[in-house]
């Protein structure tokens, strides 16, 4: 058992923490820009776990998670960082692991630098948690496939250059009939819809993407026909473990804000930190984040060891996402009027945290996975 | 699970039927995947129930379409797993 970091790991964390705090200006309601995206590329957040031979940093799951944790603590534009994580874990990771040499060489270097934006297209109006019956189809034709269908809740969808899209190539084979494709936005038949207006994560654009008679070559298939479900689970494994490190960093930042406020604000002639109702609330925040942190590192460690990580990834996703939501509510309560007003960043953290309990597998699905792992 | 008919019963009870849905009869040649009867949770439930009720551990590498298209296909796998786990005669 080793809880320490090497000097190189600690230096990397501090560097990202400091740079994320200064390089990305955060304004209330700020939206996605290519300039901010390229800064993420310079910080190494768009290719953290992509092999160095494909243009990335080549870090493992634990080191990658630690970089996202630093970014989440340093930068309050959670939507932008969430878009980066979705680009990395649900697009770059499967392209690096399952793409052909030609596709990897053409796309990954640009995806790592921030020249390209990628988006994962899985969810449909009728297929959220249950992906075994996708309506989108890909029909084999000479030289490739023709895609038909509409995807929704596509993170980065309205601004993406590259899509990783899932469609059924064999409707008679259930979950084994799905195939993953890489589709570039300039491809005829690809149309991205308008950005959704949503509760939080304003720095990230999300919307529908429609494929109409969209021809892609055989080279666009990730892995092999029928491996889509397996590839998607591979991406979700990375998302559930590493992406939610972002929410650890957010909780660290909220706790720092609450400690500073509780120590500085005086009511009834004393600092409000002297009221146990206030200090205990911060203690509970700390308890949540440290428990989630251990679970998340445990899940990432299992991934780096090549061990099954389903149980710990599900537990850590639950702990980090629900912890972030509970802590954001507590932070709004603790900061009172300042927590409720826009401009102090705390109300945005509350709105941003809600999404974390829904995407990458809802809390209900994570509990279902844990129950099954327990043999229930 | 000693017969393919008992396996059909196990599959039928592993499927979550909607309140307004009459559970279908599952026969050895029912096209489980083509009929859309198996989602990912149901497949995990069938594998878990085979382990709990019959002590048959389906290897993860065998959880593939070819073994779940029909009860007959799964029955063939169950017998292979069972034969492989029994000590050789003599």
A55 — alpha (psi -120 to 50), left (phi > 0) or beta?
Answer: left
Interface probe for B, chosen from A122, A128, A176 (most Cβ of B below 10 Å), is A176
pLDDT for residue B23:
85
pLDDT band with cut points at 50, 70 and 90 for residue B89: low
Q: Which two tokens stand for residue A167?
A: 């469609």
pLDDT for position A71: 98
Give me the mean pLDDT over the A235-257 stretch. Answer: 96
Of the candidates A172, A229, A368, which has its C-beta nearest B33's C-beta?
A172
B88, pLDDT greater than 80: no
Q: Which residues of B touch A133 (CB under 8 A)?
A: 36, 39
The stretch B63-71 carries a mean pLDDT of 92
Q: Find the DSSP H helices in chain A.
A: 7-23, 34-42, 61-74, 78-87, 93-98, 101-113, 228-238, 245-264, 276-305, 310-335, 337-340, 346-356, 363-373
pLDDT digits (tens, 9 = 90+) for A350-362: 999 999 999 999 9
Question: Tokens at residue A17, please?
Answer: 């923490």
Predicted local distance difference test score (pLDDT) of residue B87: 66
CA gap A203, A20 in Å, rounded: 15
Q: Residue A166: which H helix or E strand, with range? A: strand A162-168
pLDDT single digits (tens) A73-109: 999 999 999 999 999 999 999 999 999 999 999 999 9
Contact across the interface for A176 and B33, Cβ inside 8 Å: yes
Out of A97-101, A143-147, B54-58, B72-76, least confident range = B54-58
Task: Please determine, for residue A241, whether its predicted confidence score (pLDDT) is greater than 60.
Answer: yes
Please state, in angstroms and rounded to a whole number, the distance separating the CA atoms of residues B40 and B47: 11
**B89 and chain A in contact, CB less than 8 A:** no
Strand, coil or helix: A332: helix
H or E element that contains B46: helix B40-54
Task: Tell me the chain B residues in contact with residue A175 when contact means C-beta distances shorter than 8 Å.
Answer: 38-40, 43
- Torsion over CA of A282, A288, A290 and A292, rounded to 10 degrees? -160
From residue B3, alpha-carbon distances to A44, A128, B69, B75 in Å are: 57, 36, 18, 8
Number of H helices, E strands in chain B: 3, 0
**% residues pLDDT > 90 (chain A):** 89
Residue A345 pLDDT: 84
Contact A74, A16 (CB under 8 A): yes
Q: Contacts of residue A130 in chain B, CB cutoff 8 Å?
A: 39-41
Q: pLDDT band for A266, please (50, 70, 90 cuts).
A: very high
Q: Does B64 touch chain A (CB under 8 A)?
A: yes
* pLDDT tens-place string over residues A302-345: 999 999 899 999 999 999 999 999 999 999 999 999 999 998 88
Catalytic positions of A: 239
Mean pLDDT of A148-164: 98
Q: What rounded mean pLDDT belongs to chain A?
A: 95
Q: Which of B36, B43, B44 sits opposite A133 (nearest CB)?
A: B36
* pTM recorded for the entire structure: 0.91
Nearest residue of B to residue A229, measured between CA atoms: B40
B56-66 residue pLDDT tens: 999 888 888 88
Question: Mean pLDDT, to the nearest integer, of A34-45?
Answer: 96
Whether the predicted pLDDT of A29 surpasses 80: no
From B25's Cα to the closest Cα of chain A, the distance in A is 19
pLDDT computed for residue A133 by the predictor: 76
Tokens at A4, concatenated: 């320490």
Do the chains contact at B41 and A368, CB–CB below 8 Å?
yes
Chain A residue closest in CA terms to B41: A130
Nearest to B33 among A173, A372, A375 (CB): A173
In this prediction, residues A233-243 reach a mean pLDDT of 93
ipTM of the complex: 0.70
């Amino acid at each position: 058992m080793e809880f320490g970091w090497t000097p190189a790991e600690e230096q990397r964390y501090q560097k990202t923490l400091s740079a994320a705090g200064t390089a990305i200006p955060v304004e209330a309601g700020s939206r996605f820009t290519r300039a901010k995206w390229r800064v993420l590329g310079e910080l190494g957040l768009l290719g953290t776990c992509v092999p160095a031979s494909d243009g990335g940093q080549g870090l493992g799951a634990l080191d990658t998670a630690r970089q996202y944790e630093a970014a989440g603590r340093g930068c309050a534009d959670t939507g932008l960082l969430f878009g980066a994580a979705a680009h990395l874990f649900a697009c770059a990771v499967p392209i690096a692991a399952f793409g052909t040499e030609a596709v990897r060489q053409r796309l990954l270097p640009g995806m790592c630098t921030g020249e390209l934006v990628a988006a994962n297209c899985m969810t449909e109006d009728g297929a959220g948690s249950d992906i075994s019956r996708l309506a989108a189809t890909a029909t084999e034709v000479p030289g490739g496939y023709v895609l038909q269908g509409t995807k929704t809740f596509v993170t980065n969808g309205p601004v993406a250059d590259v899509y990783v899209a899932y469609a059924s190539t064999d409707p008679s084979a259930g979950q084994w009939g799905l195939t993953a494709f890489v589709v570039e936005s300039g491809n005829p038949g690809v149309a991205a819809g308008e950005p959704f207006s949503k509760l939080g994560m304003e720095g990230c654009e999300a919307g529908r993407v429609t494929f109409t008679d969209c021809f892609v070559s055989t080279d666009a298939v990730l892995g092999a026909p029928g491996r889509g479900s397996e590839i998607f689970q591979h991406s979700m494994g990375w998302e559930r473990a590493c992406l939610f490190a972002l929410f650890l960093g957010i909780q660290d930042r909220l706790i720092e804000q609450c400690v500073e406020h509780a120590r500085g604000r005086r009511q009834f002639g004393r600092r409000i930190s002297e009221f146990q109702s206030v200090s205990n609330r911060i203690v509970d925040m700390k308890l949540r984040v440290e428990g989630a942190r251990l679970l998340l590192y445990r899940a990432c460690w299992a991934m780096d060891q090549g061990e099954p990580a389903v149980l710990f990834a599900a537990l850590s996703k639950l702990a980090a996402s629900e912890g972030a939501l509970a802590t954001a509510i507590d932070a709004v309560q603790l900061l009172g009027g300042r927590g409720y007003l826009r401009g102090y960043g705390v109300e945005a953290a509350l709105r941003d945290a809600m999404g974390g309990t829904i995407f990458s597998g809802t809390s209900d699905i994570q509990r279902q996975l844990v129950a099954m792992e327990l043999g229930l | 699970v000693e017969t393919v008919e008992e396996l059909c019963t196990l599959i039928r009870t592993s499927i979550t039927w909607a309140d307004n849905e009459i559970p279908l009869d599952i026969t050895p040649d029912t096209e489980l995947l083509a009929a859309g009867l198996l989602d990912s949770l149901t497949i995990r439930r069938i594998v878990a129930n085979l382990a709990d009720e019959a002590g048959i551990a389906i290897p993860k590498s065998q959880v593939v379409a070819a073994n779940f298209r029909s009860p007959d296909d799964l029955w063939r796998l169950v017998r292979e797993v069972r034969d492989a786990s029994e000590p050789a005669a003599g």
